[in-house]
Chains A and B, each alone.
Chain A
Amino acid sequence: MRMGWEIILSQAFLVSFLATTIRLAVPILIPTLGEIFAQKSGVLNLGIEGMMITGALGAFLTSYYTGNPWLGVLSGLVVGGLFGLLHAFMTITLSVNQVLTGLAIFALGPGLAGFLFRTIFGVTLIPPITTSFTPLHIPLLSKIPVLGPVLFQQNILVYLAFIFVPICGFILFKTAIGLKITGAGENPRAADTLGVNVYRIRYLCVIFGGVMAGFGGAFMALSTPGQTFMEYMIGGRGWIAIALVIFAKWNPYRALGGALLFGGADALQMRVQALGIGIPHHFLLMLPFVLTIVILVMISKGTSEPSALTIPYKRGNL
């Protein structure tokens, strides 16, 4: 027991813990950014978890057969985008209940992914391993003690993910498109009167949300060398991303903070488990979920979501 705690406080452990935190923040951060856009435009997407797992399968298969993880990522984005399109068609064109459509996609995703994976590979004793991304050491910066291994020895998708935060923030808060998105989600009729095509804005945002969920899934499938595919590999991250949108108050910069917090909780269970500290690993697995509920309890009251969230928009229907 004493040994364990001493290791935890050592520099080597802290460095590996922080590096893992950064890496595990990504598959929560990316879908959260996408969901922020969808919700800001007025559409709730509860299907993130299902979109992530199908995106992960698309990425896994493509990278497996082509040996090129970049094509894998592309495939993950396309699959996620297609599910986003499905959600958009159901909720915007057909104005079907957003909650139920999202739940249907949540049910569909793991089933479809498991079905296709088993169809292709059957039941194998040796799981198929895909080509994944390897850490990219940034010259000079990666040599800095502590900071180097934590920040600058990650794989390239991690750097990309963090660049997305200011880009999303800029689009939402500093551009005309951002204003149109906010308008579509706050008061679609007024926005429509001012010449905003509410349908198009919502379609784009929901598809973007799907693409980002697919990206998150691709990250799960391709970011760890020697990784195989499992139907349950998303493990609730899609749901935590949805909770994180509330935590972030629909702000990409706040989402970054939240994602790091959850990345930390996730990293803690991975790193501490390896040490055998005496805390049952089930409790560590539980930690991100307990943390999310605690945060929701503290933050939910009085949060103002986009006013038109979950309400379908019908032109000329007063």
Chain B
Amino acid sequence: MMKKFIGFFNVKERPILAAILSPVLAVLVAFGIGAILITIAGTNPLVAYQALFVGAFGSLHGFGETLAKTTPLLIIGLGLAVAFKSRMFNIGAPGQLYMGALAATVVGLTFTGLPAVLLIPLMMAAGFLGGATFGAIPALLKARFEVHEIICTVLLNYIALFFVNYLVEGPMKEPGSYIAATSMLPSSAWLPRLIPGTRFHAGFLIALLCIPLVYLILEKLTLGYRIKAVGASSGSARYGGISVPKYMILAMIISGGLAGLAGTIELSGIFFRLQQGFTFEVGFTAIIVAYLGRCHPIGVGLAALLFGALINGGQAMHRMTGVPVGIIYAFQGIVLLLVLASEYLVRRKG
């Protein structure tokens, strides 16, 4: 069912200026609305926003934290861009991230004797595979049983969350530990920190590397051409001899795999163990990142930096002024609504 979500991401038709202008305007207006909310919370919005910007960019430490928050958003956002191009609306990145992190944890805790040069790539392969497998499920169910992928991926998020929580509280819990977490990974599984004293780690470089990689897939390879053809018009693609289910599934494998890779990088760069409260919500934020970035790898990179800064700066704002962090999540919804509304204006002019 529901085969006809029309024109999600037909970026090509839009003039470039409008494609850049509408997200920028939307973010500015959203800051205005945020200011009203902050005033309601009894804080001077200028003071709050100053705390946000200083927290996100004002120091080497703050900027390092911003880049650490950007890393998973960027990787997941790039993967979602691929899925969205095939018109697979993947809302399941949080779950795919969890399953990737789980696979990587198992590898990391099993092959403890391996040197870092072998162990880290092996964990990343496992993480990609874990996320890709979990991402392929809704695509297979859609291809075979016409199950709506949006609902399916959302439900799978809850299943992955409960499953990982079960493991870290039960079978995989470190014996004698007070918190719900696995044992620490060996230090050979840790990604090096790039700025000492911050959590800015080498995973960011891998995220940067994903930008040209996804660009290559989408713009230069037959694979990407076919994925986009399936998304643009499944009827024409089928007529042209492209197997629609195959490329839907491949797009979800890339998308889920990158979410799983992001999970591995959070594991090796930030947490060093799988635990309750592991990175989850960024999988939702990355949807807005992908959309705001117009599903173009460079756009996604910029949007990821913006939201990485917002999340990090929002926490700084909370510490400095007491404004509840919920506002950052509300802000994300407001930005998306405003971008969508601004597209209406662009369309009318055009």
Contacts and interface: CB of A to CB of B under 8 A. Distances in A.
B152 A286 contact: no
B330 A300 contact: no
Contact of A309 (B2, B141, B163): B2
B159 A286 contact: yes
B166 A236 contact: no
A8 B279 CA distance: 37
B170 interface: yes
Nearest to B329: A111
B147 A104 contact: no
Interface string B140-170: 0100011110111011101100110110011
Contacts of B327: 111, 115
Contacts of B42: 119
B141 A297 contact: yes
Interface stretch (A89-97, A157-165, A175-183, A196-204): A89-97
Interface stretch (A58-66, A209-217, A288-296): A288-296
Contacts of A311: 4, 6
Interface residues of B, number: 53
Contact of A104 (B5, B37, B148, B340): B340
B341 A293 contact: no
A99 interface: yes
Nearest to B322: A122
A310 B326 contact: no
Contacts of A113: 326
A176 to B, nearest CB: 28
Interface centre among B145, B148, B329, B344 (most CB of A within 10 A): B329
Interface residues of A, number: 57
Interface stretch (B201-209, B260-268, B284-292, B297-305): B284-292
B282 to A, nearest CB: 12
Contacts of A94: 340-341, 344
A249 B148 CA distance: 14
B324 A119 contact: yes
A2 interface: no
A242 to B, nearest CB: 6
Contact of A296 (B5, B152, B340): B152
Interface centre among B2, B7, B145, B151 (most CB of A within 10 A): B151
Interface centre among A105, A111, A113, A296 (most CB of B within 10 A): A111
Interface in B1-15: 1-2, 4-8
A100 B291 contact: yes
Interface stretch (A20-28, A124-132, A148-156, A277-285): A277-285
B2 A305 contact: yes
Interface string A299-318: 01111110001110000000
Nearest to A119: B41
Given A108-B334, A305-B1, A118 B156 contact: no
Interface string A114-144: 1111110000000000000000000000000
Contacts of B343: 96
B89 interface: yes
B169 to A, nearest CB: 8
Interface of A: 44, 46, 50, 86, 90, 94-97, 99-101, 103-119, 231, 236, 239-240, 242-243, 246, 280, 282-283, 285-286, 289-290, 292-293, 296-298, 300-305, 309-311
**Which A-B residue pairs are the 3 nearest by beta carbons?**
A108-B333, A111-B329, A114-B326
